[in-house]
Chains A and B, each alone.
Chain A
Amino acid sequence: MNRTTDKKQTIVYFTIFVILFALVILPIIAVFSEAVIVDGRFDFSNALQTIIDKENLTTITNSLLLGVLVVIVSTIISTPLALLLARTRYARWKWLDVVLMIPFMTPPYISSMGWILFMQKRGLFQQLFPWTGSISESFFSLGGLVLVMSFHVSPFMTTMLKNAILNIGMNLEESAAVSGAGFLYRLRRVMLPLLTGNYAIAMLLVFVKTLSEYGTPSTLGNRIGFYVFTTDIHRYASTAPIDFGKASSLSGVLVVICMIMWLAQSYTTSKHTYNLVGGKGKKESLYNCRRATELIGGIYIFLIIAVTIGVPYFSVIATSLIKLRGYGLAAGNFTFQHYVELFTNNSKGWEALVTSTFLAVVSATIASIMGTLIVVLIKKAGNWKKVIEGEALLPEMLPNIVLVIGMMLFWNKIYKLLPLYNTLGFLVLVYVVMFLPYSIQYVSSAIMQTGDSLMEAGKVCGGNRSYVFLHVTLPLIMRGVMQGWMMIFIIVFRELVAASLISPPNVQTVSTFIVREFEQGSASVAMAMALICVVITTTLLIILNNVIGKKKY
């Protein structure tokens, strides 16, 4: 029985490995082979040609340039914010943490649309400040694109830096101060050296995120003719003449760049971050600031909120309520009609909402069940565990668009075997693969917090595997499972890349509906839907934090 259990275990591990291999690895292989195999033969020249094609070279340099600029701008935005939130009185205002995350949680295509509506010719800015002439239109440039993308990612960077600063603990700074170091000297000799690693990691992650981002480039970037990896891949894969070879070559390059960044990131994490635990429990540690400094800090935080949240949301809300756009912001030109239209006018909007809800519920449920099972089954799997986790978490490191292209190619090839392509089921499958890592991470951390001995106690008390799972393990990790579920629900609900590439004909999701209406000139309807989408997901997020987030034991 000893050996047969071993054998049974191995069969379980192997099965999981094979399933994930088919779901995750084969699509990636499909991307690369599509790029280098032409008419059944290896042909690197083709891929190479695509890459050095002048147009594509521009795309590549554009992407890299955009990445670098966004990294710089978001670092500039985030650094003061992180310091303010970690070391001044604003650290006590916990709600700031939540509010400042809003730009990151807002789907980028929605905030970009908000910015476009705000800045464009006869847009809201020009209506509010007519005397500024056409100044706002200069927003439609690389600079504007960089700003919008930086606003989106900087909350992420702020949070990372803030946590790093909090980790440093005041004692290190205090000991420097006692040794006679002034504020700037301490910043230079203590804080910054300790933060270098964290900066490097945050910057690399922001770079990868920017390169992988599709929402903003597809709305704002395309409008100003600034094409990047994701938009070009999308174009090659969706508009005639469709050329999967080119899409794959570009995807390949993108994957390689992202993987190098991830490697650099994990190298930095292991080498250049300091282990700063130690000493007594950390007390709240704030600088004694002069009032003026505090005031300036407060103004800065207010400005950031006003610009990164105020502007896009004002745009979205105002546009969704304007009756006739020609009249603009004028008394009497407001209406709820667009919201009504969403649900009445050939009910397209309603259908999109239903489709997205369906996709989100089904994908989140399947991904959560799969994630939970995988985590629980491979808990004791040794080397298998590393391999399986590696497979399952890979989609998180890949740009979503690449994963989608890979799965399109792969499932197209085996269409005769499994006719899933071009159905809603395929979209579900793509989402499950794409967001399985979320579930796995939430469940893993939940299971890590429950010691082994709780399960072992269940066993010695006479519970068999399934009894212990149902009565001990599952109740204890349920919070993690639910958190993962909600997170996946929220993201799938408004996901754009996969929806726009592989929705079956005549099926619209919330995101494709918004984009379509926006592009066809019904900005008000689009924004009404955008607002509904944001309200639904935000409500869920609040539930997530308040109901599930509370620890009961």
Chain B
Amino acid sequence: MFIDMRNISKSYDKVEVIKDLNLKIEDKEFTTLLGPSGCGKTTILRMIAGLETPTAGEIYFDDKCVFSDKEGINVPPEKRNIGFVFQDFALWPHLTVFENVAFGLRARRDTKNIEERVIHALKAVRLGEYRDRYPSQLSGGQQQRVGFARAIVTRPDCILFDEPLSALDAILRDEMRVEIKRLTAELGVTAVFVTHDQMEAMSMSDRIVVLNKGAIEQQGKPEEIYQRPRTPFTAKFIGKSNWLDQNAMFRPETASLEKKDGYKVYRTVVDGVQFLGENYQLYLDAGGKQWIMESPCRYDIGSDVSVYINEDQIVTF
């Protein structure tokens, strides 16, 4: 299922947080909405789910209009047939794992083979044995997996994730990333994933939509966004960027500390050094601008360093 948002605006008490947004989410793709805190990611997701009503615009699921301001259409969330994974899990504490997952089927009076289908969903997230536990008896990662099983059990056309990993610790987060990616691919559903973590976005997405202040800055494949940012905002927000001036930057790994033919040399002074384990991160003063470079060996603070830059890799705006 593709999702098409046309000219969507949303205001809270006269403050416009989404401005005339046009966003198309492709069928069966894993799309990530990425942006700083408060840029409106959650709002967009909730409008897709029907939990929030846009102030103006239209939303289509395939050819079916689920919201239209002009025509007065607003399909309620329970009729949109989507899955939603909440940031705070939102598991019902008074229901067992099994009943949490079965909820959507029971609510739709779709109880044929309910046992089998719920168990199947639980097995998919590797929680088959936990069916009779209450959410409070599960770890954070397990809770999130229940939330995920709950979202897929009704076979939705699309699953929405609102920062589902932010409540988990770093190791669990890595594990869940892989798992979410695997499951959505297996199910062949359209997935919309919200995060403000660029690593998460890069590693999981087919497409990234970078948002800033309620508007789209850029969208495209992760590589495209990283290598060819179209605005300074995207360049700064994603990855590390070293700036030559206001409108020109390069990624640290495209430059070198060793002399290379055809590269342009810049003289810098070491400002600070951090040991990262596999290598050192240097903070360089390049004529008033701060650059970051990685280096296999330590430099003394105050020492001079030459940076060689491949001019083809410089991105200008």
Contacts and interface: CB of A to CB of B under 8 A. Distances in A.
Interface of A: 1-5, 451, 453-454, 456-464, 467-468, 471-472, 475-476, 552-553
Contacts of A467: 78, 107
Contact of A476 (B51, B69, B79, B93): B93
Contact of B73 (A1, A454, A464): A1
B154 A553 contact: no
A59 to B, nearest CB: 49
Contacts of A462: 78-79, 81, 104, 107-108, 154
21 contacts: A1-B73, A1-B74, A2-B67, A2-B74, A3-B72, A5-B74, A456-B51, A456-B84, A456-B86, A459-B50, A459-B51, A459-B78, A460-B51, A461-B150, A461-B154, A464-B76, A467-B78, A467-B107, A471-B107, A553-B93, A553-B134
Contacts of A2: 53, 67, 69, 72-74
B77 A456 contact: yes
A472 B91 CA distance: 10
A454 B67 CA distance: 23
A463 B88 contact: no
B49 A460 contact: yes
Contacts of B134: 553
Given A2-B73, A456-B90, A553-B93, A461 B49 contact: no
B73 A463 contact: no
Given A451-B90, A453-B86, 18 more contacts: A2-B53, A2-B67, A2-B69, A2-B72, A3-B72, A5-B74, A456-B86, A457-B91, A458-B107, A459-B50, A459-B51, A459-B76, A460-B50, A460-B77, A460-B80, A461-B103, A462-B79, A464-B107
Contact of B78 (A4, A453, A463): A463
B154 A1 contact: no
A-side binding surface: helix, strand, loop or mixed?
helix
Interface of B: 49-51, 53, 67, 69, 72-74, 76-84, 86-88, 90-94, 103-104, 107-108, 134-136, 150, 154
A72 to B, nearest CB: 47
Most chain A CB inside 10 Å of its own CB: which residue of B76, B90, B150: B90
A379 B187 CA distance: 37
A464 B86 CA distance: 19
A461 B53 contact: no
A553 B88 contact: no
Nearest to B77: A459
B212 to A, nearest CB: 26
Contacts of B50: 459-460
A472 to B, nearest CB: 6
Contacts, number: 84
A471 B69 contact: no
A451 B50 CA distance: 18
Contacts of A457: 84, 86, 90-92, 150
Contacts of A454: 90, 92
Nearest to A454: B90
Contacts of A553: 93-94, 134-136
Nearest to A461: B104
Contacts of B92: 454, 457-458, 472, 476
Nearest to A457: B90
B-side binding surface: helix, strand, loop or mixed?
loop
Nearest to A467: B107
B185 to A, nearest CB: 22
A468 B76 CA distance: 13
Most chain B CB inside 10 Å of its own CB: which residue of A462, A472, A476: A462
| 8 pairs of A and B residues whose beta carbons are closest in the complex | A461-B104, A553-B93, A463-B107, A453-B90, A457-B90, A460-B84, A459-B77, A2-B74
B269 to A, nearest CB: 42
Contacts of A1: 72-74
Contacts of B108: 462
A4 B88 contact: no
A471 B103 contact: yes
B8 to A, nearest CB: 13
B107 A475 contact: no
A472 B93 CA distance: 9
Contact of B72 (A4, A471, A552): A4
A4 B150 CA distance: 31
Given A2-B53, A2-B74, A5-B74, A460 B82 contact: yes
Contacts of B74: 1-2, 5
A476 B74 CA distance: 28
Nearest to B150: A461
Contacts of A464: 76, 78, 107
A460 B94 contact: no
Nearest to B87: A453
Contacts of B84: 456-457, 460
Contacts of B80: 460
Given A2-B69, A453-B86, A476-B94, A458 B76 contact: no
A458 B86 CA distance: 12
A97 B72 CA distance: 58
A459 B67 CA distance: 17
Most chain B CB inside 10 Å of its own CB: which residue of A1, A459, A461, A552: A461
A468 B78 CA distance: 10
Most chain A CB inside 10 Å of its own CB: which residue of B53, B83, B93: B93
A461 B49 CA distance: 10
A452 to B, nearest CB: 9
Nearest to B46: A456
Nearest to A3: B72
A152 B108 CA distance: 55
A462 to B, nearest CB: 4
A205 to B, nearest CB: 34
A472 B67 CA distance: 26
A552 B50 CA distance: 32
Contacts of B93: 476, 553
Contact of B88 (A453, A459, A476, A552): A453
A475 B94 contact: yes
Nearest to A382: B13
B234 to A, nearest CB: 30
A4 B73 CA distance: 10
A457 B50 CA distance: 12
B74 to A, nearest CB: 4
B194 to A, nearest CB: 14
Contacts of A471: 103, 107
A451 B73 CA distance: 28
A456 B92 CA distance: 11
A451 B86 CA distance: 12
A158 to B, nearest CB: 34
A173 B76 CA distance: 55
Nearest to B79: A462
Nearest to A553: B93
B96 to A, nearest CB: 11
